[in-house]
Amino acid sequence: MGIPRNGAVSSVIYVDADACPVKAEVEKVGTRHGHRMYMVSNGGLRPSRNPLVETVIVPEGPDAADLWIAERAGSRDVVVTGDILLAARCVEAGAQVLKHDGEALTAVNIGNVLAMRDLMTDLRAADPFRQGGGRGFSRADRSRFLDALERAVRRAG
């Protein structure tokens, strides 16, 4: 958790920033609330000029950004990620977790989300010619995300 100049503990927003379509929205909401934000990736990000945003470049390697976030996120923090395994670790640590489309991942639903992830992995493995991917990211997804992030930041404190 971040510690502002007045000594009070404030929440932090962690973003799994590789391929994250909502970095600008996170910066907008985080700045409005005065929260420190960490954009964590393996590289390739343009650093923000915003003094509340820190770009963290982790070493190359599987899940390095996820590990960095998971080791730090706790209660009163917000984590933005599309990675379900990272989300599960952060939910367990008490963080507010959001997917890019605004879906909140919580202690109540993370088990079902993990099960669906595993099922889809098994289906793809059983049919290597299976075509298709996720649907495109829409304006409605962006709007839902902004609303969900605003609520999560308020809950986090």
In a domain? residue 92: yes
CATH of the domain at 88: 3.40.50
DSSP string, 6-61: TS--B-EEEEE-TT-TTHHHHHHHHHHHT-EEEEEESS-PPPPS-TTEEEEEPPSS
Q: What's the confidence (pLDDT) of residue 127?
A: 73
Q: What's the confidence (pLDDT) of residue 116?
A: 73
Q: Rg for the chain (alpha carbons), in Å?
A: 16
In a domain? residue 85: yes
Q: Give the whole-angstrom CA distance, residue 149 versus residue 25.
A: 9
pTM of the model: 0.84
In a domain? residue 50: yes
In a domain? residue 118: no
In a domain? residue 134: no
- Give average pLDDT by consecutive 10-residue segment, the chain, 157 residues: 46 93 96 96 91 94 91 95 92 95 90 70 68 74 95 89
Q: How many domains does the chain have?
A: 1
Q: 41 is in which domain, residue-wise?
A: 12-107+139-156
